[in-house]
Chains A and B, each alone.
Chain A
Amino acid sequence: MPAASALLSDAHHPSVRVRGVSYTYESEGGPKRVLDNVDLTLGRGEFIVLTGHSGAGKTTLLTLIGAIRSLQDGAINVLGQELGGRDTAAQEEVRRKVGFIFQDHNLFAALTVFRTLWLATGLVENPPSREVALEEARSLLAQLGIEQHLHSRPRQMSTGQKQRVAVARALINAPQLILGDEPTASLDQQSSQLVIGLIRRHLAATGASALIVTHDDRIFGMADRVLRLQDGRLLGDA
């Protein structure tokens, strides 16, 4: 059992701490700096929306925080783990604790919705049994309004419904951190609210945090903070 002081320290530790992060892409036209000395703190239970024009560096920052891309300069601490200098296996370990929602759902055409969600539970150390996972999947899909598609395959669903499955896939392991890249881009107003509402309920229930990159101003009002990235610099509340 962890010591009380450790728990206290963990509770006060932010989910994400970004310090002095810069990132440069090598391109034919020469190096292009997309992030310039960025600092960001995402507190426990906090919901931040990160916006900015295309090419501002939002997605690059998201992938750095998600341990999908390796750091060049600066430091990032995610869920208490420093990301700098970590090997692939260690990066995978961090990623397993994060719920990712990608812009494209990228669901396997061969798998049913339930099989997709059950597969995602394989990321945790002690995955739930099929029966437990089935109940969890049913509950999540009901909250997203697509319970009837539990055993459907992607081709039987609309784009918006598939995106909601991708959201359920990100939440099924009750992650401590949710990272989303335009998760509501393909959703109508009602579906967007369902998705963001579910994420908010998840944060409230678990103390998890969320960082959502989006252009969708319909969800700005549901965030705790809205930050803007411009030319690689974080400008503060938008």
Chain B
Amino acid sequence: MSPSIARRVLDRFRILAGAGRPDRGLGLAFVSFNRGRLAAATGGIAMAVLVMFVELGLLQAILGSQSALAGLIDGDLVIMNSARTNLHEWTRIPRIRLAEAGAVPGVAGAMGVYESGMLLRNPPERRVHRIIAFAMDGQTQPLKVGDPDKVRAALSRPNAVLFDRLSRDIYGPIAPGRAIELDGRSFNVAGFARIGPDIVMDGAVVLSDGAWLSADPNAQPVMGVLRLEPGADLGAVRARLKAALPSDVAVMTPREIWWREIAFTFRSVPIGIIFGAGVATGAFIGAIICYQILFNEVVDLKKELSTLRAMGFGPGFFRRLILEEAYLLAAGGFLIGLVAALITYRFLAGATGLAMQMHAGAALFVALATGTMTHLGGLFAARHLGSFEPAELY
């Protein structure tokens, strides 16, 4: 865009916004004049913004952590027990299903994933802690838990285990080369995996399926991850799998599992309602604060504003003035709240191990909610101007 076009576009915006008109742009002068009130207003709105961000951040982190396993699946299709409603329920499938699925035309390979709770003891400590253990073939790696070569090399060693470096720090210092006990069996930490805790699980280890089956030769997988032959039609293979496998087996894509996990978490634990109520509370608090601040401003300036009414300024002017102030407070409060939220996310991520991340969508949502709440607060405050009778000046 050439500078002259940019200037013309800018001028057009300025005209539309009323810039340069004598009755516009007063909001900044009023908002910035009383520093104490400005600090209280932006601080209050920032607090409401922070509440909304924390609620949304926790919601996203919980949903993200609960569905993280689905994101680790490295395959085209997954077979699971059809009675299994979510990934944190370990209803298993007979191991023979892996072979049956692998025999279906179009399937290149079927890899079992084992999962169970174990008790981990880090020998310097006497206490044991519950941990989730996954097992898989280190060569084919149906779960992406780290650098494939390192994972492959680590899991090929006897009695080797990968420790999830995102685990909460309740397990004590664990580093490669250290010996740990899982359900009383001794293992060597051969490296780290990246899985991440959730609201129930504090940490995880990954074993080779060989080590798992040597401990329990009858162990059954919680899922089978299928990779298709190059060029195979996913829908057709899926249909063949459904026809070939008994009805106790569900066939899903990793993406479908991810969505099902999100839906299940929303449904089973009503966190959507809980955190939604938190966000709404934050927005409500913000609207009340904005209203209270602007209402006080209107009351304090009653004589001055009544004078302007007596001079002939109409309701539109006053509404615009109050809303200008509301939007400025919203902008200031949002920016401060955003910075505070980023700091709080860092703290919460460290304290809980949950993946607290600022997403553009969440920031946009909170920005819109902030604008809406201050708009409503401003409109209610502006309504009081209608009750001012300029004749009362005399």
Chain A residues engaging chain B, CB cutoff 8 angstroms: 59-60, 62-63, 66, 68-69, 89, 92-98, 100, 102-104, 106-111, 115, 118-123, 127, 129-130, 133, 181
Contacts and interface: CB of A to CB of B under 8 A. Distances in A.
Interface in B300-341: 301, 303-304, 306-308, 310-314, 317
Contacts of A107: 304
Contacts of A115: 26, 29
A104 B313 CA distance: 18
A102 B312 CA distance: 14
Interface of B: 20-23, 26, 29-30, 32-34, 301, 303-304, 306-308, 310-314, 317, 390-391, 393-394
Nearest to A213: B394
Given A107-B304, A110-B33, A69 B312 contact: no
A83 B311 CA distance: 16
B312 A118 contact: no
A59 B21 contact: no
Contacts of B308: 119
Contact of A68 (B32, B304, B391): B391
Nearest to A120: B311
Contact of A129 (B20, B23, B29, B304): B20
Nearest to A70: B391
A216 B23 CA distance: 34
A94 B311 CA distance: 9
A68 B391 CA distance: 6
B20 A96 contact: no
Given A68-B391, A106-B307, A110-B30, A121 B22 contact: yes
Contacts of A133: 22
A10 B153 CA distance: 102
Given A108-B301, A122-B317, 17 more contacts: A66-B310, A68-B394, A69-B391, A92-B312, A92-B313, A100-B307, A102-B310, A106-B393, A109-B33, A110-B34, A111-B26, A111-B29, A118-B22, A123-B312, A127-B23, A133-B22, A181-B394
Nearest to B302: A106
Contacts of B34: 110
Nearest to B308: A119
Nearest to A108: B304
Contacts of A104: 303, 393
9 contacts: A63-B391, A69-B391, A92-B312, A93-B312, A106-B304, A110-B30, A115-B26, A122-B317, A123-B311
A186 B24 CA distance: 31
B304 A96 contact: no
A93 B314 CA distance: 9
B23 A122 contact: yes
A59 B394 contact: yes
Contact of B307 (A97, A102, A121, A127): A102
> Which of A98, A106, A121, A130 has its CB near the most chain B CB atoms (within 10 A)?
A106
Given A107-B304, A108-B304, A100 B394 contact: no
B27 to A, nearest CB: 10
B311 A96 contact: yes
Nearest to A154: B304
B391 A119 contact: no
